[in-house]
Structure 1
Amino acid sequence: YDAMYTSVDAAPCVRLLTKDGEIGCSTEGRVVGVLRLYDEDHDDVLTSHSADDKIAIVMPESLFNQSTVKQLDSSLSLAGIMVLANEKTKPSSYSPDEATPQSFMAKVRGEPLYEWNPIGERDPIIHQRYGFGIVRVADADAEGVRSKALLNEEKRAKNEFVPYVAEFHYPMYAKGNSLACLEEATCLPVGGFSVWTTLQKLNKTLNKDIVLATAMMDSSAFFHDLAFGASSYQSGVVSLTAATLALSKPLLTHTCPNATQLPKQIMVALLNAEQFGYVGSRRLARDLGTELECNQWSAKFERPYRTCLNPYKPNTLYTSLNLTNIDTILEVGQVSLEEGDTLYAHIDRSDPSPDNIARSLAFSAMISANFSGGTGVSVTGASEQLPGLPPSSIPSFVKEKRDRGLGGVGYVSLQNHNTSFTNPYYLSRFDSNLTASQVDSLCSTAKIIAKTLYATAGGPASDTCQAEIDANVDCELVSALFHCLTQDFNCPLVNKYSGEQDEGPVSHYAGVYFLVDPDRIIGVPRFLNRLLAESLVEHNEYGSALHDAVDPVLAFNYDKDKWDISSEVSWGGNASLLPSMLFSESNWAADIGTRLYRREDPFVQRLMLGLGVAITVLAGIGGYLFRPYVIQNFKT
């Protein structure tokens, strides 16, 4: 921090937009503020600073919440806020999300509102708009930033000049709402790519019933770069992936058919952008069983593996599956457990279809009766008093089937909680790891998932078959996969399938959706797609597939090169009628960032100006007095 300008390693809050307006953070160009320390020992900033002077608040993570930010914003002229990381301590609980997660989508789906996340904020910080920068300073830089702010406080206490300032540069180009910025091409839809596969070959003519298993691939946080989501929802991704790989292995007992030979097809989907209106599941449900009219094919691959460029689809394998055939859904949600804890099988007792409720109750009872306790993890039905499902991808498929008149479906959402979340850090930067026993529990959960899918697809429920499936679940892989997805993405397992990555944990924020060549899709979707493909290609002949996770309300206009509202959506130009919040992320400048520097004392500036003037005057006087001598001795 001795250089004139020092860049700060920090994760920023950025501008998102919805159909209703702006959320997140933005600055108008470069904004400079004097560093002020705000903590338990320095809490007088609200009374000791002029409201007209721009300031940059430096505060510990323990004080960063919606009520504190609201108080600072209403009392001061903020250039920005710098939240200091402290990897050694974290609060006992914190969630920046609302108590009723994704409440808007619950209303769209006709679901009763329920506080699954009781520690969530009534006026959640994750949904607010801020006209200044907010960054979370990395642990390595936190002490340096704090020391500069502390020196400023010491100077201020002595009525001396305070030298250190911070510059926030986070100009966001999108203004208004998602409809406006998509029209102006100043933002992109929040989204990405889901990953799906099947245990058997794709054959539409066989018309097999489908057992669908899902997990949410993405997470979120106020600072998107820190959306680690260890419990919500990487615990589910790891367990379901391990179960899928176990089912791809052959069973040796002749009375136990392989999962590739069962009467029903097992389909697995790791869904992206679910934290932003269940985008991945809604898109996949909408696309299954619909005809694709491709106007331009990519020349890279043969059909059905081929990419359609207009309308863009990374591959067209999904056209071999039909939504009608999905008769059972198993969702794997937050499933990390401590020793002795229980998994809960949730169903929706408010489902308007009595047939769906009956099927779901039977499915839940089957799981609890046949697979509870055998691996050290018990499963029981969730409370009958609950009004519906916790935040879930399941209704995307149930609603789509109901709207199209495609019949009923039984479903269960497996969760580690009953009436409310047990995760104390839901959608928070603190949801970064699990205990050793919780990681171990993921292997037990993977065994329950694998046996449930096997039996539901028509496999024998004998002790012999169950024991073989248990043995095929690789607990070392579970541990390695969890480590890669939450602690260090540049791990040997990821390197094997996706090459070298940046060191450290990877963010599971969905990101923005691009129309991109499948070979250029990177990150977690690329890794999981290739991991599954290696084990499954010999069974289904294609391995696994990527599917676009972009809001089905949107359609890309190839003539205008921008996103429009799909012609299939009835909204009459009234945004309130859109069945989605329509999240988008603003475009921004390439050089965004935060930096510190030391400004000069005005006294020194005045002194230097005075010296400059004095030197100029003396030079003039000297020249005038020296002029006769020059004329006399250098006359030409």
Structure 2
Amino acid sequence: MLRGRKCIKEQNVALRILNDESFAKKVGGVVVESGTNISSQAKGFSPVEKFPEAKFAPYQNLNYEWNPAGSSIMLNNYNFPVFLLSQDSTLVLQEIADKNDKNKKAYTVDVAEFNLIMQTTKAGTHDSESCLKEQSCLPLGGYRQLFGAVEMKDSRDIVPTALPKTLLTLISSFIRRALPNYSNRLEQASNRAQLRLRTIDSLNFRERRLPTLLFVADVDHQGNQGRRFVFDEESDDDYQEGSVMSSLPPINITSSKRSKPIILAVASMDSASFFRDKSLGADSPLSGMISLLAAIDALSHIDALSELNKQLIFLICTGEAWGYLGSRRFLAELDMHTDAVDGLNGTLVEMILEVGSTGKSFTQGVNSFFTHSAGDASTTNKTLIAFKNACESLGSETIKISTAKISNPGIPPSSMMAFLSKNSSTSGIVLEDFDTAFLNKFYHSHLDDLSNVNSSSIVAAASLVARTLYILASGKKESSTSELNSINVNSSLVEELLGCLLTCEPGLSCGLVKDYITPTNTCPNHYVGVLMGAPSSKPYLAYVSDVSRFLWNFLADRTSSKEDRSSVCSEDCSSKGQVCIRTEPAGKGTCVVSTTRYIPAYSTRLKFDSDSGTWSVLPPNSSDPMGMVDPVWTESFWDEIQLRVYTVQSATYDRFILAGGIAVTVLAYLTIVATRAMVTKALKRD
């Protein structure tokens, strides 16, 4: 029965359910309301740990709280589903719940019924290894999967039958949030814990367009009991989203000249959330990615890029929210010298500059950024000096760059952890908008949306990154003021990217995106998705997500040699080193010289068998420290999710009718017996 509307913190309810067995038995499901003002009212909501991905940290202090708002509720087991409503559906269910509360003595009541079956539950594959073997799930990573939403069916006709099998109790609303453009749609998130996962996840190929519900398993290296949870989502089409790599200027893989030292700039493109379809990650990590994209755009307008003393490589990773899948796979591809990294020598990487959260640096009129460093002190000091020179060249008192406190245990959760795990002597700096703890109170939450970032902060970070990269790549002790002043970030581009990647209006239908691709969805989502088929640096583009395809085209365009644009193309280019961009809008593209590639992102513990088309889980390898603790997440197949609201007779009324019927029957029987006795007696007298 749909009951009650209480403004309760989601994590408090989740924790009570976990700790109060009697209360948990009364909960058939949870429906979470959406609203327009929850972000400003909430003190903070982060469903992940206080130290996200702590097991991958390259240092020992794993109790440090980088994420003070973290509650870890996303990694718990729940015996019921959790549904996130759109604004319109919220209004409908509020009305129904209020009606039920007011009409406690009414003979009818409104109830909700859901249909939510995961294939892993049906098949009895209770862990990732078995679900991959039985082909009832797919591994997270690779190339993203996008989803639409299912409409909530509101059926008000009275159903004079027994109560439905599953009733959802409305314990709304812990969290309210606006979900633009989702009229009458119900976004669902389900946290059902019939499954207890004890081994690692695996994968299996699944047919495109098959709806899937997130089913993830976390297994430690000792095979202890894992944790499962589900995010909200309804599937429309399945897409793959992988990491994207590019370089400036393009790498000439046919040249015999000695390769230059490499400056590697890194950002992340995926986020996570308790409700998977609402994984926007505006501040963490999208603000950093947008800063890097804007910096690349600014650098692309510089003349004589080929004269730089060092090679700039850009890597935008996916799967970082799920065990640093993208960065770890990138390093594995380097070791194996695959086509995805052809022409790139990992031993030449001199410095790594990662752009983390940059959307919340603006406080009290100043954009304050912090550098978290690791590795060789002399190399990192050069980068710190480059940052300070870049900051001074901007000539603005509203932008400040500082080094993070030495009391920090090390670098914050970031892709840099994967590089340090591979080689502890790797030199790198992570640029963040915080010093000792996240400023983002909605880290890995569905509330980390556009309202949670400041565009001027992102522009300031992009300016710092662009000029710092130029200083490092030029190799000069001092760059001239005129050179640095020629590097200017396009603030309009930043605003456009924010609208395209973090909203539904215009969303992926914005002019910038449609200039490169024909989007299949309007509302963006930055959940990593699943890997379909064989991993490849040249994936089947019909399976590649809108965001990945846009990033690939954008980077290929911005990093290409402007003078080498040539023939019209539809798919491939004849010359080596060329790629075909903008093929979707008009069916014809242009060949450009660019070193831009897709890099599949998936666990280093997974192996794909091209003959059988299946995946297997590799045993832990001591040479892969992160693989030793890798959960190897997977996602279950699932059928169409449905939730409908309709009216039934109340149980009390049914019992009253039953009692009345029994009473009438008994009275009728007694009347008949008495009447027969009277008639018999009367006949005997006659």
Shorter-chain TM-score tier: 0.7 to 0.9
Match of 1:570 in 2: 621
Instruction: Check conservation: 1:215, 1:269, Cα contact below 8 A.
Output: yes
Match of 2:109 in 1: 163
Instruction: Check conservation: 2:282, 2:452, Cα contact below 8 A.
Output: no
Farther-moved stretch of structure 1 (320-329 vs 356-365): 356-365
The aligned amino acid for 1:456 is L
Measured in 2, the distance between the counterparts of 1:84 and 1:467 equals 49
Measured after TM superposition, the shift of residue 65 of structure 1 is 4.9
The aligned amino acid for 1:385 is S
Measured after TM superposition, the shift of residue 117 of structure 1 is 0.4
Are 2:327 and 1:281 aligned?
Answer: yes
Out of 637, 646, 649, which is 1:587 matched to? 637
Are 2:88 and 1:37 aligned?
Answer: no
Out of 414, 436, 456, which is 2:472 matched to? 456
Match of 1:531 in 2: 554
Measured in 2, the distance between the counterparts of 1:503 and 1:427 equals 22
Equivalences for 1:163-312 in 2 at 5 Å?
A: 163-174=109-120, 175-191=125-141, 192=143, 193-203=242-252, 205=256, 206-251=258-303, 258-292=304-338
Measured in 1, the distance between the counterparts of 2:98 and 2:655 equals 24
> What SS does the corresponding residue of 2:450 show, helix, strand or coil?
coil
Calculate the TM-score normalised by the size of structure 1: 0.74
Measured after TM superposition, the shift of residue 367 of structure 1 is 1.5
Equivalences for 1:64-83 in 2 at 5 Å?
A: 65-70=13-18, 74-75=22-23, 76-83=25-32
Match of 2:35 in 1: 86
> What SS does the corresponding residue of 1:341 show, helix, strand or coil?
strand
Measured after TM superposition, the shift of residue 523 of structure 1 is 2.1
C-alpha change, 1:451 and 1:570, in structure 2 (3 Å) is same
Measured after TM superposition, the shift of residue 409 of structure 1 is 3.4
CA offset digits 1:253-281 (Å, max 9, x no partner): xxxxx333311110001100100000000
Measured in 1, the distance between the counterparts of 2:316 and 2:67 equals 23
Measured after TM superposition, the shift of residue 333 of structure 1 is 0.2
Out of 412, 418, 421, which is 1:396 matched to? 418
The aligned amino acid for 2:294 is A
Measured in 2, the distance between the counterparts of 1:563 and 1:335 equals 37
Match of 1:466 in 2: 484
Measured in 2, the distance between the counterparts of 1:511 and 1:155 equals 44
Measured after TM superposition, the shift of residue 163 of structure 1 is 1.4
Residue correspondences, number: 508
Instruction: Check conservation: 1:365, 1:381, Cα contact below 8 A.
Output: no
CA offset digits 1:226-262 (Å, max 9, x no partner): 11111001100110001111111134xxxxxx33331
Instruction: Check conservation: 1:317, 1:545, Cα contact below 8 A.
Output: yes
C-alpha change, 1:565 and 1:231, in structure 2 (3 Å) is same
Find runs of 4+ consecutive structure 1 residues off by over 6 angstroms.
60-64, 604-610
Measured in 1, the distance between the counterparts of 2:632 and 2:452 equals 36
Match of 1:105 in 2: 56
CA offset digits 1:82-135 (Å, max 9, x no partner): 0111123331311111101112222xx4453221001111xx111012221111
Measured after TM superposition, the shift of residue 577 of structure 1 is 7.7
Measured after TM superposition, the shift of residue 176 of structure 1 is 2.4
Match of 1:374 in 2: 395
Are 2:383 and 1:363 aligned?
Answer: yes
Measured in 1, the distance between the counterparts of 2:602 and 2:485 equals 40
Match of 1:149 in 2: 97
Measured after TM superposition, the shift of residue 143 of structure 1 is 1.3
Instruction: Check conservation: 2:48, 2:73, Cα contact below 8 A.
Output: yes
Measured in 2, the distance between the counterparts of 1:577 and 1:198 equals 28
Measured in 1, the distance between the counterparts of 2:327 and 2:615 equals 20
CA offset digits 1:20-47 (Å, max 9, x no partner): xxxxxxxxxxxxxx2121415xxxxxxx
Instruction: Check conservation: 1:259, 1:454, Cα contact below 8 A.
Output: no
RMSD over aligned Cα atoms = 2.9
Match of 1:13 in 2: none
Percent identity of equivalent pairs? 28
Are 2:431 and 1:414 aligned?
Answer: yes
The aligned amino acid for 2:134 is E
Measured in 1, the distance between the counterparts of 2:531 and 2:493 equals 30
CA offset digits 1:32-72 (Å, max 9, x no partner): xx2121415xxxxxxxxxxxxxxxxxxx6768753244367
Instruction: Check conservation: 2:383, 2:468, Cα contact below 8 A.
Output: no
Measured after TM superposition, the shift of residue 79 of structure 1 is 2.1
Instruction: Check conservation: 1:195, 1:544, Cα contact below 8 A.
Output: yes
Instruction: Check conservation: 1:194, 1:270, Cα contact below 8 A.
Output: yes
Instruction: Check conservation: 2:246, 2:595, Cα contact below 8 A.
Output: yes
Instruction: Check conservation: 1:39, 1:63, Cα contact below 8 A.
Output: no
Measured after TM superposition, the shift of residue 458 of structure 1 is 1.9
Instruction: Check conservation: 2:11, 2:73, Cα contact below 8 A.
Output: no
Calculate the TM-score normalised by the size of structure 2: 0.69
The aligned amino acid for 1:78 is V
- Runs (5+) with no aligned partner, structure 1: 1-33, 41-59, 252-257, 293-315, 403-407, 615-636
Measured after TM superposition, the shift of residue 365 of structure 1 is 3.6
- Runs (5+) with no aligned partner, structure 2: 144-241, 563-576, 578-592, 666-686
Instruction: Check conservation: 2:45, 2:69, Cα contact below 8 A.
Output: yes
The aligned amino acid for 1:595 is R
Measured after TM superposition, the shift of residue 542 of structure 1 is 2.9
C-alpha change, 1:370 and 1:493, in structure 2 (3 Å) is closer
C-alpha change, 1:509 and 1:69, in structure 2 (3 Å) is farther
> What SS does the corresponding residue of 1:237 show, helix, strand or coil?
helix
Instruction: Check conservation: 2:66, 2:438, Cα contact below 8 A.
Output: yes
CA offset digits 1:410-435 (Å, max 9, x no partner): 21100000000111111111111146
Instruction: Check conservation: 2:284, 2:357, Cα contact below 8 A.
Output: yes
Measured in 2, the distance between the counterparts of 1:343 and 1:39 equals 39
> What SS does the corresponding residue of 1:481 show, helix, strand or coil?
helix
Measured after TM superposition, the shift of residue 544 of structure 1 is 1.8
Measured in 2, the distance between the counterparts of 1:523 and 1:117 equals 30
C-alpha change, 1:166 and 1:72, in structure 2 (3 Å) is farther
Measured after TM superposition, the shift of residue 583 of structure 1 is 1.2
Match of 1:44 in 2: none
> What SS does the corresponding residue of 1:242 show, helix, strand or coil?
helix
Measured in 1, the distance between the counterparts of 2:264 and 2:545 equals 25
Measured in 1, the distance between the counterparts of 2:134 and 2:646 equals 36
Instruction: Check conservation: 2:108, 2:647, Cα contact below 8 A.
Output: no
The aligned amino acid for 2:604 is P
Measured after TM superposition, the shift of residue 141 of structure 1 is 0.9
C-alpha change, 1:289 and 1:74, in structure 2 (3 Å) is same
Farther-moved stretch of structure 1 (412-421 vs 260-269): 260-269
Measured after TM superposition, the shift of residue 514 of structure 1 is 1.5
> What SS does the corresponding residue of 2:442 show, helix, strand or coil?
coil
Match of 1:20 in 2: none
C-alpha change, 1:518 and 1:463, in structure 2 (3 Å) is farther
